[in-house]
Amino acid sequence: MNPLVIISRKRDGLALTRDQIFDCITAYVAEEIPDYQMSALLMAIYLKGMNADETCYLTEAMLCSGDQLALTEGHGIVVDKHSTGGIGDKVSLLLAPLLACLGFRVPMLSGRSLGITGGTLDKLESVPGFRATLSPSEIDEITTATGCVICGASDAIAPADKLLYRLRDVTATVGSIPLITASILAKKLAENPAAIVFDIKCGHGALMKTPAMARELGRSLIDTSGLLGLSARALITDMSQPLGMMIGNTVEVREAWVAMEQGEPHDLIELTLALATQLLEMTGRQDLQPSLRKTLVSGEASRKFQEMIARQGGDLEQLPDPAWEYVESPQTGYVSDIDSEGIGRLLITMGGGRMRKEAEINHEAGIKLNYKIGDQVRKGQLLAGVTSPSDSSVLDCLASMITIEPESPELRPLIIDTMY
Amino acid sequence: MNPLVIISRKRDGLALTRDQIFDCITAYVAEEIPDYQMSALLMAIYLKGMNADETCYLTEAMLCSGDQLALTEGHGIVVDKHSTGGIGDKVSLLLAPLLACLGFRVPMLSGRSLGITGGTLDKLESVPGFRATLSPSEIDEITTATGCVICGASDAIAPADKLLYRLRDVTATVGSIPLITASILAKKLAENPAAIVFDIKCGHGALMKTPAMARELGRSLIDTSGLLGLSARALITDMSQPLGMMIGNTVEVREAWVAMEQGEPHDLIELTLALATQLLEMTGRQDLQPSLRKTLVSGEASRKFQEMIARQGGDLEQLPDPAWEYVESPQTGYVSDIDSEGIGRLLITMGGGRMRKEAEINHEAGIKLNYKIGDQVRKGQLLAGVTSPSDSSVLDCLASMITIEPESPELRPLIIDTMY
């Protein structure tokens, strides 16, 4: 295998063969291709794209670079969800236990926060004692007993993806549809699921800024999944404001837990149900549809959530309940815009997120919205809050991210599109 | 300076600023930007291009990464020629002494052979005692005394170019017009010439395969030179067959030497005169035009050539005169095609060229054409030869590269275009 031939082909817009892609990934993991050749190839892929077959081969090559989960048979249909990441997105914390309550098996391999995007593992590590790192046999045991687990992918899962992501991150080649597709799917395929639903966030708080970009990624994810024999659908969902009312780690776990008891906030519950509905349809279990909402909000999912956390060493009862400092609404009117990206950045400055992988996180740092887009607010009402201790500059900054106008704004739908 | 910002801009097809390009080159030479980031940037430049300003900044940044020749004033107008490289191209060996005879000063910094393209320094090193490596003060002294020198660029000249070329060579980013332009000009500008003429070879034996590609490079070289205050023109010249009759190192020096005594081969003489004419016009010395041919072929240039070589330690009288083995023409007809690229590759297999920079060269290995395209040849006449010792497979291979057809072919002009 001559890397120059492969780089030249892609540079010239030609498709790579299955052998070329496998050889290239295998050699890179074996350190037989240097970073400087791989980064030239990544830039060529970024600019020239990959067709459906190439994306499929790349996904397989990355999957085959590592181990796959070996789950004992006969304990439910394996399903999963993947979100491209947004502000306040704690859907996994509700969806995994909900699906487990319905008899599915959810070995959800999740990630950590980076940049403005939160990470499910960081959120769960707010719970005292929680272990995000599990061995393959622990994943098998816990999902056999409880139906769900949320943990990190071990280094043995798709090591090529870790190496490539590290290089993409420092060579401006992250935002490529085929590279994103292969990165997402290589890890998810290691779970060997029967069906998967993608939640593709769209808006200024998301990687995909426009519905067109989100649809392009959705198409690529669904088509590549299909070529690999995996049933897949995607929802394009609005990220022009945070999901739910809470943004942060501890506070999002608490919000998810409370939501499963009280049935709100509305957007969080509805998105969880919509994603679950797609999985029921894909697995031919529409018979479960009537009991979906009740299972989610009757306390059943909440108990499953608590059980899963307990099996991973955590005690949800010990979850801290931070105190809040609030900013008042400067005027009467309607909330017309919430700067999701700004809120994500503010959380990082509060220590609740990280710009570098190595950075420590202050789990308790959090932001709370009392109003969402379209809500009416009166001057002097408590508009939003941050966990204390804080200072006035943080509150001023938060206030500046919430736009209030005299007229009621046009509301955007939470679910922009469903893709098959 | 954040390399990611620069890579992203170019990736997105935006122009880089002068500061961004200078910062990037400076940091790369200082090893503050790793190869994997530079190779991503090079691929982005390859695929998205650079405008005239950017190419100009890149050239300047590469020039400024090293020293420039400091020549004592008052010893003639400094001029030079650059060829993009072809098979049998020994024009420099005639042009430098010709221009020196006319009172110009030619501090010609040249290169070595790589791949099928010959290198002027390798050719001259066929001459026993010849030194291709000269100090800046030696270059000044010899050009003051003799008017011309042909030597290698020291490591102090445009070190950024050496580093970038090495990386381009292993990342499939060599064939980019702005990168080629900056690489050529950064070294030539270090000579601080008043005028330069480019000989852009075009055909299957050249880097530029089509007249369109050659014109694009010519345009870029001339425009970038202009922005940098350097008067420049370009000839697009045919490389669908080798230049002259000899291909190799020793044999090309001998052919050049003999050409300056005998006034042939025709194509070599005419191309040398055409390039010299451009330099006369650019420097306002059209008054020298009438004496040009006579100076070249009367023995004057030949003596200057011998003098230059002597000042660089070489003794032209000691140049070996290899014996030849010939292949006969298998039929009667007209030579209709000569596979330049194949002949370049054959010379490499004979040891007369190199595929890797480190490889040693057998200077005496050579190929001789007895007929060029359009010449009539009879069956059994000696068609072409290789230096001995050789074997029949080499001769068979050579014969296969010369096509003979019953009809006289349409002749292509040697000079395809003149660009201003």
Residue A376, classed as helix, strand or coil, is strand
Q: Is A161 a catalytic residue?
A: yes
C-alpha gyration radius of chain B: 21
**What pLDDT shows up at residue A274?**
98
Cβ distance A4 to B172 less than 8 Å, yes or no, reads yes
Q: Is the pLDDT of residue B357 over 90?
A: no
Residues A202 and A341 sit within 8 Å (Cβ to Cβ)? no
Q: Which of B357, B367, B314 is nearest to B112 (CA)?
A: B357
- Nearest CB to A42: which of B34, B40, B42? B40
Q: Which of B46, B395, B132 is nearest to A47 (CA)?
A: B46
Joined tokens for residue B94: 């005639």
Cβ distance B36 to A173 less than 8 Å, yes or no, reads no
Q: Which of B187, B254, B368, B372 is catalytic?
A: B187
Cβ distance A7 to B36 less than 8 Å, yes or no, reads no
Any residues with CB less than 8 A from the CB of A340 and at least 6 apart, and which? A86, A87, A88, A203, A204, A205, A206, A239, A240, A241, A242
Predicted-complex ipTM score: 0.85
Chain B positions contacting chain A at CB under 8 Å are 4, 7-8, 11, 34-40, 42-44, 46-48, 167, 170-173
Q: Which of B57, B56, B150 is nearest to B98 (CA)?
A: B150
Q: What angle do CA B121, B123, B124 make, to 5 degrees?
A: 65
- Global pTM reads 0.87
Per cent of chain B over pLDDT 90 is: 86
Burial class (CB in 10 A: 0-12, 13-18, 19+), B15: middle
pLDDT tens-digit readout, A208-254: 889 999 999 999 999 999 999 999 999 999 998 999 999 999 999 99
**What pLDDT shows up at residue A391?**
83
Q: Which of B14, B36, B163 to mutate to test the interface with A (most CBs of A within 10 A)?
A: B36
| Secondary structure tally for chain B: helices H, strands E | 16, 13
Cβ distance B7 to A40 less than 8 Å, yes or no, reads no
Alpha helices in A80-130 (DSSP H): 91-101, 120-124
Q: Which of B4, B28, B38, B171 to mutate to test the interface with A (most CBs of A within 10 A)?
A: B171
Sorting pLDDT into bands at 50, 70 and 90, what band is A34? very high
Q: Is the pLDDT of residue A357 over 90?
A: no
What is the Cα–Cα distance from B288 to A378, expressed in whole angstroms? 90
Q: Is the pLDDT of residue B114 over 80?
A: no
Any residues with CB less than 8 A from the CB of A150 and at least 6 apart, and which? A92, A93, A96, A108, A110, A120, A121, A124, A132, A308, A312
Cβ distance B167 to A35 less than 8 Å, yes or no, reads no
CA distances from A135 to A125, A141, A256, A305, A307 (A): 17, 10, 26, 20, 18
Residues of A in contact with B172 (CB under 8 A): 4, 7-8, 11, 40, 44
Sorting pLDDT into bands at 50, 70 and 90, what band is B112? confident
Cβ distance A47 to B11 less than 8 Å, yes or no, reads yes
Q: Which of A348, A361, A338, A352 is nearest to A409 (CA)?
A: A338
Joined tokens for residue A98: 């909900």
**What pLDDT shows up at residue B148?**
97
Q: Is B396 a catalytic residue?
A: no
Residues A61 and A25 sit within 8 Å (Cβ to Cβ)? yes
pLDDT tens-digit readout, A296-310: 999 999 999 999 999
**What pLDDT shows up at residue B273?**
98
Q: Is the pLDDT of residue B358 over 80?
A: no
AA letter at A126: S
What is the Cα–Cα distance from A174 to A171, expressed in whole angstroms? 8
Cβ distance A44 to B48 less than 8 Å, yes or no, reads no
Sorting pLDDT into bands at 50, 70 and 90, what band is B44? very high
- Nearest CB to A40: which of B11, B34, B43? B43
Q: Is the pLDDT of residue A275 over 90?
A: yes
Sorting pLDDT into bands at 50, 70 and 90, what band is B392? confident
Alpha helices in B117-169 (DSSP H): 120-124, 136-146, 159-169
**What pLDDT shows up at residue B186?**
95
Q: Please give the average per-residue pLDDT across A287-293, as a whole number.
A: 97
Q: Is A82 a catalytic residue?
A: yes
Mean pLDDT score across all residues of chain A:
94
Q: Is B183 a catalytic residue?
A: yes
Residues of A in contact with B35 (CB under 8 A): 34-36
Q: Is A368 a catalytic residue?
A: no
Joined tokens for residue A378: 């009166």
**What pLDDT shows up at residue A143?**
96
CA distances from A414 to A49, A91, A107, A399, A418 (A): 30, 13, 27, 23, 11
What is the Cα–Cα distance from A329 to A338, expressed in whole angstroms? 13
Mean pLDDT score across all residues of chain B:
94
Q: Please give the average per-residue pLDDT across A164-181, as a whole number.
A: 93
**What pLDDT shows up at residue A369?**
98
What is the Cα–Cα distance from A330 to A395, expressed in whole angstroms? 12
DSSP B163-193: HHHHHHHTTT----HHHHHHHHHHHHHTT--
- Nearest CB to B36: which of A7, A39, A46? A39
Phi/psi for B128 (5° steps) reads -55, 130
